[in-house]
Amino acid sequence: MKICCIGAGYVGGPTMAMIAHKCDDIQVTVVDINEKRIAAWNSDELPIFEPGLDDVVKHARGKNLFFTTEVDKGIREADIIFISVNTPTKTYGVGAGKAADLKYIELCARRIAEVAEDDKIVVEKSTLPVRTAESIRRILEGAGKSIKFQVLSNPEFLAEGTAVEDLEAPDRVLIGGEDSEAGDKAVQALVDVYAHWVPRERILTTNVWSSELSKLTANAFLAQRISSINAISELCEATGADVDQVAHAIGTDSRVGPKFLKSSVGFGGSCFQKDILNLVYLCEHFGLPEVAAYWEQVVHMNDHQKERFVKRIVRTLFNTVSGKKIAVLGFAFKKDTNDTRESPAIYVCRDLLREHAQVAIYDPKVNEESVLRDLEEVGTFEPDNGKRKHVSVYQDPYEAVKDAHAVVILTEWDEFRELDYQRIFDTMLKPAFIFDGRNILDLKELRKIGFEASGIGKP
Ligand SMILES: NC(=O)C1=CN([C@@H]2O[C@H](COP(=O)(O)OP(=O)(O)OC[C@H]3O[C@@H](n4cnc5c(N)ncnc54)[C@H](O)[C@@H]3O)[C@@H](O)[C@H]2O)C=CC1
Ligand SMILES: O=C(O)[C@H]1O[C@H](OP(=O)(O)OP(=O)(O)OC[C@H]2O[C@@H](n3ccc(=O)[nH]c3=O)[C@H](O)[C@@H]2O)[C@H](O)[C@@H](O)[C@@H]1O
């Protein structure tokens, strides 16, 4: 059995590494057009940081796991082809700002149609609008070859930062296939791959549309929980309730459950917002405006959460941060990843820069190049001379906080819990403010040191 995966990103890389690691009898080739990324996958410095990933890759690479830019060869030799390319929100034309941009998916389908010489199972691993499998099938069959294609949906549910554990012991694997004999056979072939290590009862099979829609729905539900608790956090601040206590109290109800109730400065990451907007667009497309509005509110609440966090900083710092050094600890969208896509930190820093703050950033895994690129993309460079505004990126948290008016925690990195806050206090300007956008610090202890400390949804 040979598998090819198109797209060596945050999903394609780890997912295929796990398949290769667990299935000695399967040869897995991950192909990508990005030469730099492929070179990194073949080096000691993998292109993405994920706890435990190095070991999984090293175990299989060169044996039954290969990374290459030879896309056509990969496609031609494979029995099963995963499509794991990016599906960002469209930025142009019809559906701009909401619909998923499917151009990379279509390019893959056309490439497969052109170079395939024998029957293939094509698997949607990327997150896609419901009914994309139909378009892929039509493109594949449009080539008019006498070979047969089966299109399956197999969405990925891993979360960044825990990708390896999620892949090793998934809550479930979802496979959607066509309701026909050939469809069942293709589904079974993919079930057999996962059954190498995933208990059979955790491998769910459905029709294609249910599988495609379940992925968007899963992300919408998860993000909705965060927006719900974040909405309550604002009410907590107005009333003296503590959002962590409220979350604990409701989460102990087994019908609600404790997970995904951590109030924060807002959710980030490449997918939640994109996938909800995609769902909203689909609902609008199918003439369901009330359903669309319901889900869109999850994104509005998230934007509101980020905005009100910055407003609070400005208000607390005597209504101006102009010229003030604000130390930002954490730039990744969550801990244990170097991914900054849609990180709330980008928008918080942007808004602070608009208020003419001097932003000093430290993140243990995000490099200066990424920080500056992200901030440039949201328009924080001086338009007249292209020079960047007052942003500096530090390698050491203690340097970042020195002479700062305020410290702002934007990622819940474990190391931020362990910092010497007395030392930080001593080097800051007074009054020394601290805003914990992740509720990871003990505000009472900080206040004992002398900080003016606040969290999200905290009295
Ligand atoms: N990042 C995550 O944690 C998760 C992402 N997803 C979904 O998986 C999909 C991929 O996401 P990521 O891996 O994060 O994206 P990514 O941007 O990290 O990786 C995508 C890769 O595809 C490559 N690519 C694009 N067009 C290509 C083509 N025509 N031929 C060959 N390679 C091509 C790009 O060069 C890039 O390296 C998206 O649909 C996303 O919604 C699903 C679950 C989790
Ligand atoms: O489709 C995807 O891309 C993936 O999206 C999320 O995974 P991910 O975005 O990597 O990370 P999460 O742990 O879900 O966190 C997303 C954001 O929500 C925030 N968050 C999470 C949980 C919480 O209680 N509170 C909270 O603010 C995180 O800090 C982060 O900014 C889902 O959890 C995965 O199941 C899914 O496969």
CA of 334 to the centre of ligand 2 (A): 8
CATH number of 2-198: 3.40.50.720
Whether omega for the bond prior to residue 431 falls within 30 degrees of 0, making it cis, is yes
- Dist CA 112 CA 142 (whole Å): 11
By CB atoms closer than 10 A (0-12, 13-18, 19+), residue 418 is: exposed
Check residue 143 and give its pLDDT. 87
Sheet with 27-31, strands from edge to edge, namely 65-68, 27-31, 2-6, 80-83, 120-124, 149-153, 173-177, 203-207
Is the model's pLDDT at 137 over the cut of 80?
yes
Give how far the C-alpha of residue 371 lies from the chain's centroid of Cα atoms, to the nearest Å: 16
Which of 85, 139, 156 to probe ligand 1 with, by most ligand atoms within 8 A of CB?
85
10 pocket-lining for ligand 2 (C-beta < 6 Å): no
How far, in Å, CA of 120 to CA of 126, rounded? Answer: 18
Amino acid in the structure at residue 426: D
pLDDT band for 388, please (50, 70, 90 cuts). Answer: low
> From the alpha carbon of 269, which atom of ligand 2 is closest?
9
Contact 78, 4 (CB under 8 A): yes
Which is nearest to 159 in space by CA: 94, 218, 82? 218
- Annotated binding residues for substrate: 156-160, 215-219, 255, 262-268, 333-334, 438
Is ligand 1 within 6 A of the CB of residue 404? no
pLDDT digits (tens, 9 = 90+) for 294-349: 999 999 999 999 999 999 999 999 999 999 999 999 999 999 999 999 999 999 99
Specify binding-site residues for NAD(+): 7-12, 32, 37, 85-89, 126-127, 160, 271-274, 341
Q: Does residue 166's CB lie within 6 angstroms of at least one atom of ligand 2?
A: no
Dist CA 362 CA 371 (whole Å): 10
User: How far does the centroid of ligand 1 lie from the alpha carbon of residue 154, in Å?
Assistant: 14
Which is it for the CA torsion 267, 154, 13, 280, positive or negative? negative
Domains of the chain, by residue range, sit at 2-198, 209-459
In the set 236, 271, 283, 349, the catalytic residue is 271
CA 285 – ligand 2 centroid, Å: 27
Q: Does residue 223 have a pLDDT over 70?
A: yes
Q: Which ligand is nearest to the CA of 47?
A: 1
Name beta bridge partners: 121. 80, 150
Residue 271 annotated to the active site: yes
- Residue of minimum CA distance from atom 37 in ligand 2: 157
Would the CB of 380 count as within 6 Å of ligand 1?
no
Q: Which residues contact 140 (CB under 8 A, 6 or more apart)?
A: 109, 112, 113, 116, 122, 149, 151
* Residues 224, 218: Cα–Cα separation, whole Å: 10
- Centre of ligand 2 from the C-alpha of residue 329, in Å: 19
Q: Is a pLDDT exceeding 80 seen at residue 389?
A: no
User: What mean pLDDT do residues 103-131 have?
Assistant: 97
- At 380 the pLDDT is 77
Asked whether 160 lines ligand 1 (CB < 6 A), one says yes
Q: Are 164 and 51 in contact (CB under 8 A)?
A: yes
- Whether 196 shows a pLDDT value over 90: the answer reads yes
Question: Which band of pLDDT confidence, cut at 50, 70 and 90, is reported for residue 382?
Answer: low
Which residues partner with 89 through β-bridges? 100
Does 2-198 match 209-459 in CATH topology?
yes
Mutate-to-test residue for ligand 1 from 4, 5, 10, highest number of ligand atoms within 8 A of CB:
10
Phi/psi at 349 (5° precision): -65, -40
Structure token digits, residue 238: 């107005």
Of all ligands present, the nearest one to the C-alpha of 128 is 1
Ligand 1 atom nearest to CA at 48: 18
Does residue 167 register a pLDDT over 70?
Answer: yes
**Calpha distance 370→42 (Å, rounded):** 22
- SS3 state at 436: strand
> Does the pLDDT value for residue 386 go beyond 80?
no
Contact 50, 160 (CB under 8 A): yes
pTM score, two decimals?
A: 0.96
CA distance 125 to 30: 13
Tell me the helices (H) and strands (E) count for the chain, helix number first. 18, 14
Q: Which CATH architecture has domain 209-459?
A: 3-Layer(aba) Sandwich (3.40)
202, two tokens: 């955790």
- pLDDT, residue 121, reads 98
Q: Report H helices in 116-242.
A: 132-142, 163-168, 181-194, 208-239
Angle at 218 between CA 213 and CA 224, to 5 degrees: 125
Cα distance between residue 283 and residue 271, in whole Å:
18
Q: What is the pLDDT of residue 379?
A: 84
Q: Each residue of 261-280: pLDDT tens digit? A: 999 999 999 999 999 999 99
Question: Confidence band (pLDDT; 50, 70, 90) for 168?
Answer: very high
Q: State in Å: Cα 271 to ligand 1 middle.
A: 11
Kindly tell me the sign of the dihedral angle through the C-alpha atoms of 163, 82, 343, 280.
negative
Instruction: Write out the H or E segment, with its range, that includes residue 60.
Output: helix 53-60
Residue 174's H or E segment, with its range, is strand 173-177
Contact 208, 177 (CB under 8 A): yes
**Residues in binding site:** 7-12, 32, 37, 85-89, 126-127, 156-160, 215-219, 255, 262-268, 271-274, 333-334, 341, 438
**How many other CB atoms sit within 10 Å of the CB of residue 255?**
5
What average pLDDT is seen over the chain? 96
